Structure 1
Amino acid sequence: MRGVGLLGVAAAAVLVLAAGHAPAQSGKTRGVTATEIIIGMHTDLSGVAASYGVGSSNAMRMRFDELNAQGGVHGRKIRLIVEDNQYQVPRAVQAANKLINRDNIFLMAGALGTPMNNAVLPDQLKANVPNFFPITAARQMYLPFHRLKFSGGSTYYDQIRAGIVWMVANQGKKRICTLYQDTDFGKEILEAVQDQTKAMNLPLIETATNKPADTDFTAQITKLRAADCDLVVLGTIIRDAIVPYATARKMGWDVTFLGQSANYDQIVAGAPGGVTEGFYTMAGTVLPYRDTASPTVVAWMDRYKERFGSDPNIGAVYGHALADQLIFAFDRAGRNLTVDTLIAAMESIRGYRDIFGGPVASYGPDKRQGSNESFLYQVQKGRFVQIAGPVNYGS
């Protein structure tokens, strides 16, 4: 591989198509010069999801800078331009417009948030700017099919369906309920619960909803408890996962709760007073802990902390993994880097695995989701412990 240095996780992938054989675009490719590739990212650096945005953008920048210090990829260095969307749709649209129309980016990578991506994507795709590995597990990130949309891992929908399969098979759950945000995100969880219970000929016993900013879940938990649920599936994020779980325990209700990757954050596992002990969640990746991580991951953690002054979080895991996968694709695309050659490179990837031990990802001409496999975790002594995986709802 010419001038790309250590690709780490890329070494695990087997490629079946030489991307250099793909048809090239005519004329000059936006965001690509003889010496540079320009990547854009709109994310939350100062709003309610800043822990994800700061961690992911830091890790991406670190990975690209390390590559650039080794000479870049095929003689080109990668320049990452990050705009703060504050986890607000209008700001995301404004940020994307700047990135696409003023900064002339080659592609968008790691854009944070379902509603933000949904708002930006129509104009972005019209401008022929690919969307790579957005930091959201919504199905819209690869459905409906579009040649410019690539999503790395399992969706909320995949995770919940797989989690219900496991809970029924391994814990005998039969009375399933759900508590979900009254948002597009929450409704995707509801749809997953409805589809999986129907597929297993189980009733959906009861549902309850909340607003993202709710802080009191007494009414919802009382309603679900009265329905005698034995599994509560959560379509919530961080705080609105911690509070209902703690509320149920305070009320003396020891029902099983099952979340998804929006709950898979050390903030949840390490909630004060151990109030989330026993909480289950599905996720599409692995959150490393220093005492169990591989030497490669420990070295990455040390470099991150030395540079940014804090330990890497799950956002940083996402950022490193997606940046590394992009570098791999750039290398395979060859010196003639265009949108077409990059897509051909992505479509050729088989068997990619990140350094953290996440699911194997593969793509193809009609496949834009790298993997639909998930892992099941439980909070034990303030950390996520893997219980099962990788699993999917077809298994």
Structure 2
Amino acid sequence: MCLFSPAHAGAGVSDTRILLGQSAGMSGPTAQYARQALNGAKIYFDKINQQGGVHGRRIELLTRDDQYTASLAAYNTRQLIERDGVFALFGFVGWPASQAGLQIASRARVPFFAPFTGGALQPSFNRHLFSIRASYADEYARFLRNMNWLGTRKLVLLYQQDQYGVSLKQDLENHARREAIELTSIGISHGGINLAPLIEKTLAVHADVVMLVSADYQVNARLVRGLRDDGFLGQFFAVSFVGNKQLAGELGELAHGLLVTQVVPLPWRMSMPLVAEYRKRVAEAGREELSVTGLEGYIAARVLVEGLKRAGRNLTRERLIRALESINARNYDGGGYAVNFSSTRHQGSMYVDIATMTKDARFMN
């Protein structure tokens, strides 16, 4: 009980360090995504630490593997707060882990910053949750508007039959009705077991576009390959959490042309100051790989550090929350990526772009 009291709001802070905690699927279906996000964040944190930290404190990030399972994410979150005494939680990966972790963090009054998911984590405003990315609903709404403008009228939604998938299905069906688009929803069994009947049902619809709503890149790859093998000539679409590198690796040439929404700029868009900065830091860190997910991690770390700087030397969780709420496009240079928080708005961005995947997991607008 004492651990969760406001008197202990400075937990995880010493004269020389700020300890952050993260639960992410470092193994399992989202492992490559999680590693890319972590690498991007660490590149920025490491640069800040080399410069002396924030008000003389180094930033340390303790990461625990949850294998993309909610139960393990919940256990990790309790351990991070109760045993490790972290100051704040950062960069949980995926909807199951983020939802499980947020519930525990909220009760403990621990800031929960930049989960890597666009799924709806709370039905109402949560003061401890800060997101820097657009929601999946924003991504799908942008895609459906574009399909409407292009005259595409018939879509199939292949969704995973769990709480995450059903929630997105309902939201998408509402958007499709508003855009007067014919949308057929077909559920994927857990783990994508026996996809042959699902592929047959999908082909029977004669759709222009197949929308993939599964966080498992192997299931998505099997669907794309199976539909292509059986004669589907339309397009495929997925949101930002599809796992670009993994999916491209599984599909090879078949990845070319797959449409994907992105919630951060492409890291090959060198005219944007933020992208130029990210590329420079990646090179300085001795890394070669550029990725959209890595850039998202970099942005998350960059914005959090800005909040820590504004919170001042006398750092508490409450001060960090108020400092983050002060960040907006008028007083913070995001390098072309606008971030807008306030005391009533904790979703920092609604940036959504649509890109086409190439066979090497790069993108073209």
Amino acid at match of 2:256: E
| Counterpart position of 2:230 | 251
Residues 151 and 369, structure 1, Cα contact 8 Å, conserved in 2 = yes
Deviation of residue 90 (structure 1)? 2.6
Summarize the Cα distance change of 1:31–1:282 in structure 2 as closer, same or farther, 3 Å threshold. Answer: same
| Counterpart position of 2:342 | 364
CA distance in 1, matches of 2:276, 2:134: 26
CA distance in 1, matches of 2:270, 2:301: 25
Q: Which has the higher contact order (CA 8 A, sep 6+)?
A: 1
CA distance in 1, matches of 2:159, 2:297: 27
Summarize the Cα distance change of 1:212–1:156 in structure 2 as closer, same or farther, 3 Å threshold. Answer: farther
Indicate yes or no: 2:208 matched with 1:227: no
* SS of residue matched to 1:349: coil
Amino acid at match of 1:279: L
Residues 269 and 384, structure 1, Cα contact 8 Å, conserved in 2 = no
Summarize the Cα distance change of 1:360–1:240 in structure 2 as closer, same or farther, 3 Å threshold. Answer: farther
1:281 corresponds, among 231, 235, 260, to 260
Indicate yes or no: 2:60 matched with 1:79: yes
Indicate yes or no: 2:360 matched with 1:379: no
The total of aligned residue pairs comes to 355
| Counterpart position of 1:138 | 119
Give deviations 1:96-128, integer Å, cap 9, x for gaps. 111101111111000122112222222221111
Summarize the Cα distance change of 1:271–1:284 in structure 2 as closer, same or farther, 3 Å threshold. Answer: same
- TM value normalised by structure 2: 0.88
Deviation of residue 165 (structure 1)? 0.6
Residues 242 and 275, structure 1, Cα contact 8 Å, conserved in 2 = no
CA distance in 1, matches of 2:350, 2:280: 29
* SS of residue matched to 1:96: helix
Deviation of residue 331 (structure 1)? 0.8
CA distance in 1, matches of 2:244, 2:179: 30
Amino acid at match of 2:33: Y
| Counterpart position of 1:124 | 105
Amino acid at match of 1:385: F
| Counterpart position of 2:26 | 45
Deviation of residue 292 (structure 1)? 8.5
| Counterpart position of 1:158 | 138
The percent identity for this pair of structures is 26
Any stretches of 5+ residues in structure 1 without a counterpart?
Answer: 1-24, 388-395
Indicate yes or no: 2:239 matched with 1:260: yes
| Counterpart position of 2:147 | 167
Give deviations 1:234-269, integer Å, cap 9, x for gaps. 212322222222222222221222211122513334
Pairwise CA RMSD: 2.5
Any stretches of 5+ residues in structure 2 without a counterpart?
Answer: 1-5
| Counterpart position of 1:338 | 316
| Counterpart position of 1:242 | 221
- TM value normalised by structure 1: 0.82
Residues 17 and 57, structure 2, Cα contact 8 Å, conserved in 1 = yes
Deviation of residue 332 (structure 1)? 1.3
Q: How does 1:156-195 map to 2 (within 5 A)?
A: 156-169=136-149, 171-195=150-174
Residues 278 and 295, structure 2, Cα contact 8 Å, conserved in 1 = no
| Counterpart position of 1:302 | 283
285-294 vs 320-329, greater mean Cα deviation: 285-294
Summarize the Cα distance change of 1:324–1:82 in structure 2 as closer, same or farther, 3 Å threshold. Answer: same
Residues 133 and 347, structure 2, Cα contact 8 Å, conserved in 1 = yes
| Counterpart position of 1:5 | none
CA distance in 2, matches of 1:90, 1:221: 32
